[in-house]
Structure 1
Amino acid sequence: MTAALDCPQPHVRSWHADRALSQAAGSALKTRPDYRHHDAALERLDALSPVLTNGYYNHAPMVVEALSATGQGREALAWLEREANSFTPVEAETSPIDPDDWRGLIAARGRYADWRAYFQDAMETQPWRDVVAIWVNRLAFGFSSSAAHGVLQTAHAVRAVQSDGTPLRLRALANALAGWASRHSSLPIKDQPNQGVLDVSAALSWIKPLSDDHAPGEGAITAGYAQLVHAPSFPEEVSLVDLSGDLDARFDALMTEMAKLFLSLARTPYTVIVFTHAVTGTAAARTLSQIVPDAVGRHLLFRAFEHGAALKAAFTPLALKSEAPRKALPPGDPARRAARHGDDHMIKLTEAVLDAYKRTHNPVFLDVIAQAFAVLPAPHTH
């Protein structure tokens, strides 16, 4: 009879897992932007509406920049060609935007073309950083507008302009701000003064999911936001978060928590899409925080937390109806694989978490990539 071993045994490592993680990490750290094809893609996008034929927000400006940022810009024109049937043209202008009446004009549907003209003129006559700082401050309370796509598009456009402020890139930035302003909306909650007593992780744990009676099903994410009227404690729960201290460090902590939220609740193709917005929205806020005054950056930080918390509150009941997926391994070259996959959310999510991994070397971001690829099918397999 063999005697029982009375000493701890070493952990058995998986050679395949170690190799996959090593390859993904190495590829992430080597990823370099390639904007050589970016302006050609923007030229195709300049006269398009922010609304697709199905009524959802047009992700194309964000996708082409994410491809460029991850060194896959050569794929942008082919991606646009595949998606061309879903695009709609810009409607005609109606009347000029009165800058003294901006509060009454944001969220006015049918005014995108007017806002577009206003911001394009601003980009031609004022320093672009000043325009962005002023309007991000004004629009930030509508962070979750169109499922945060106004914030996302603006951040992607800002990064392209930082690479090279060409006229087409400045127009794209103007178009992004116009999309945010024209489709502006806030969460259906009453703001409460920030109490600042819990770190991000602890504060997020206090966010209570909606009851099953009020939880949304699959559909527009904004329909989930609307159900927050049935969460009377949500404003106070959100107010508990402490976001003081170094702004970059706080954004990295929030990105980590949004990644963990994704890993916990992104269990089906639909919930992958929902919780992708928690991660990418935080990444976009961080990008914008780098070029605005500190006070505006902290406002963005709070709104990004609130946005992720809203997704958790609204969609946790739906997510928990499905079993958690088995742990997967990331592909060896995530940026290239995302471009080949072709789904707009996959491309944007991969870019956001690769950027976070390059800053932090936290493997949680590689886990996000792995889970997204394991759960979300490529568009041609839908």
Structure 2
Amino acid sequence: MNDILDEAYDRLHGTGPEWGDELSNHGPMAAEVLVRRGHADLVPRWLDAYITRLDALPAPTERITEANWRSALSDFGRVGDWVGYFKDQLREHPWREVPAVWWPRLLPGIVAGATHGVIRVSHALRTLLAGDESPAALTELAHGLAWWAARSTGVPGFTAPAGSLGSHEALEAIQRIPSQQGQVAVRFGQLGTEFTGSLAALRPAADPEDARARLTDLVTAATLKYLTHGHGSPVLLVHMATAPNAVLNAFPALPRELWAPSLGAAWAASAALVATYAPPVGAPRESLPVAPDVADPSVEVLGRAAANGDEHVIKFADTAVEVYARTGDHDVLAAALRVGLLLGG
């Protein structure tokens, strides 16, 4: 299965992280999920269809160094330079050392690529943590870090958690922006003092293990929220769950002292998506799908996602089955089915 994934990575590494009008390249992330979830046989044909829409990776223009990297941050025109920089770093250092240095540098810009930067990094780390340390897997980590750096974007009004609410309660208390219309930048531009107060309302983590527990709860809450509120923006609201889950899955590759600040950043990204895209009132539960009544509903949900073929459906199902394994809550699987229904499956 590693060979199938590595071949997919190799095919995709000539393509850029975005295509068309700033649309995201989900190819490596979806391929990783399909392989890890037992559908490796579908990857070559899925990729044959998907790769035709992608643009080439922009050519490098100027070498990035430890002395000048700050001037290249948030400059998407230099994404090719960033790929070269991180490939060099991963050749020169053990792979765990590179995210240990760069995660805290990139964390303030967690919204990069509508959170796809951190998500792609996490999927690459999951491959490496599973034992595939091939050149293709290392290059995939370089591409993910490069995208995050080149699109580095912070959450407006960010403040660290300082309140008393748990993850579920804090997510439910998020105030919506005055007008949920327009592109991401327009909506994020409306995030003001009320939103900052919502961010501060989350209880801070007492220690790294508490940060992991709190982030785990946030992933559960956000996955469930998609079931009732996902129609507000079927694509973008996927990431209110997959982005914090990406951060959670990256924890085993990161120093423990980075876990608490990672909770704060992931919380801010998820909360910002709720504030700007989730409708104030959810759909009634009786109008929504239910989890399959089968012996192993996780396998059924993953199979439906693989058959659907939409990259967002595949990635959300991956998150949902992780939450289900921890909680046994069938509604998280129903949320995965709703993604498929909303996105044409």
- Give me the TM-score of the superposition, normalised by structure 1: 0.82
Range with greater deviation from structure 2 (242-251 or 291-300): 242-251
Any conservation in 2 of the 1:251–1:282 contact (CA below 8 Å)? Answer: yes
Residue equivalent to 2:199? 238
User: How many residues get paired?
Assistant: 335
Residue 276 of structure 2 corresponds to residue 311 of structure 1: no
Match of 1:172 among 115, 140, 145: 140
- One-letter code of the match for 1:267? H
Residue equivalent to 2:180? 215
CA separation of 1:67/1:59 partners in 2, compared to 1, >3 Å: closer, same or farther?
same
Match of 2:335 among 368, 375, 380: 368
Cα offset, 1:363, TM superposition = 2.5
Any conservation in 1 of the 2:12–2:51 contact (CA below 8 Å)? Answer: no
- One-letter code of the match for 2:324? Y
Aligned ranges 1:62-211 → 2 under 5 Å: 62-163=29-130, 164-189=132-157, 191-211=158-178
Residue 238 of structure 2 corresponds to residue 272 of structure 1: no
Bigger CA radius of gyration: 1
Any conservation in 2 of the 1:146–1:222 contact (CA below 8 Å)? Answer: no
Cα offset, 1:255, TM superposition = 1.1
Secondary structure of 2:67's partner? helix
1:127 & 1:360 partners in 2: Cα distance? Answer: 35
Cα offset, 1:64, TM superposition = 0.8
Cα offset, 1:108, TM superposition = 1.4
CA separation of 1:370/1:166 partners in 2, compared to 1, >3 Å: closer, same or farther?
same
For residues 110-142 of structure 1, the C-alpha deviation after alignment (integer angstroms, 9 at most, x for no partner) is 101111011001111101111011111110111
Any conservation in 1 of the 2:160–2:199 contact (CA below 8 Å)? Answer: no
CA separation of 1:205/1:338 partners in 2, compared to 1, >3 Å: closer, same or farther?
closer
- One-letter code of the match for 1:227? Q
- Give me the TM-score of the superposition, normalised by structure 2: 0.90
Cα offset, 1:221, TM superposition = 3.9
Greater relative contact order (CA < 8 Å, ≥ 6 in sequence): 1
Q: Structure 1, unaligned stretches of length 5 or more?
A: 1-33
Residue 255 of structure 2 corresponds to residue 255 of structure 1: no
Aligned ranges 1:6-45 → 2 under 5 Å: 34-45=1-12
- One-letter code of the match for 2:266? A
Residue 190 of structure 2 corresponds to residue 227 of structure 1: yes
Residue 249 of structure 2 corresponds to residue 287 of structure 1: yes
1:73 & 1:248 partners in 2: Cα distance? Answer: 30
CA separation of 1:261/1:243 partners in 2, compared to 1, >3 Å: closer, same or farther?
farther
Any conservation in 1 of the 2:166–2:202 contact (CA below 8 Å)? Answer: yes
Cα offset, 1:367, TM superposition = 2.2
Secondary structure of 1:94's partner? coil
Root-mean-square deviation (Å): 2.0
CA separation of 1:222/1:320 partners in 2, compared to 1, >3 Å: closer, same or farther?
farther
Cα offset, 1:76, TM superposition = 1.5
2:282 & 2:253 partners in 1: Cα distance? Answer: 41
Q: Structure 2, unaligned stretches of length 5 or more?
A: none
For residues 298-318 of structure 1, the C-alpha deviation after alignment (integer angstroms, 9 at most, x for no partner) is 11111111111111111134x
